[in-house]
């Protein structure tokens, strides 16, 4: 679904895949949720989870691109660092 419900579902699906320790499926779910613009909060959270998983899955090129994109889009500052 390409609406708020779809974004919410994709985000929570990602969280559940993490609980089941399936990082690849979680990565895909967060990737879908982060591309939707219905909830900035879910988009931000999904992007952060996606970024963390990109690093864990050793997709460093993607991680660097997402980090740069997110820093500009969400105005993340050095004090917001979580990695």
Could you give the CA distance from residue 28 to residue 73 in angstroms, rounded to a whole number?
20
pTM for the structure as a whole: 0.85
Categorize the per-residue pLDDT at 73 as very low, low, confident or very high, splitting at 50, 70 and 90: confident
pLDDT tens digit sequence for 21-66 = 999 999 999 999 999 999 999 999 999 999 999 999 999 999 999 9
Distance CA 26, CA 53 (A): 8
**Token duo for residue 42:** 């879910």
Q: How far apart are CA 8 and CA 75, in angstroms?
A: 22
- The predicted structure's pLDDT at residue 72: 82
Q: Is the pLDDT of residue 1 over 90?
A: no
């Amino acid at each position: 679904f390409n609406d708020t419900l779809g974004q919410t579902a994709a985000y929570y699906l990602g969280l559940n895949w993490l609980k089941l320790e399936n990082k690849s499926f979680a990565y895909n779910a967060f990737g879908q949720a982060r591309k939707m613009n219905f909830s900035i909060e879910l988009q931000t959270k999904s992007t952060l989870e996606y970024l963390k998983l990109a690093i864990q899955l050793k997709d460093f090129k993607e991680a660097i691109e997402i980090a740069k994109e997110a820093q500009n889009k969400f105005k993340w500052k050095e004090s917001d660092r979580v990695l």
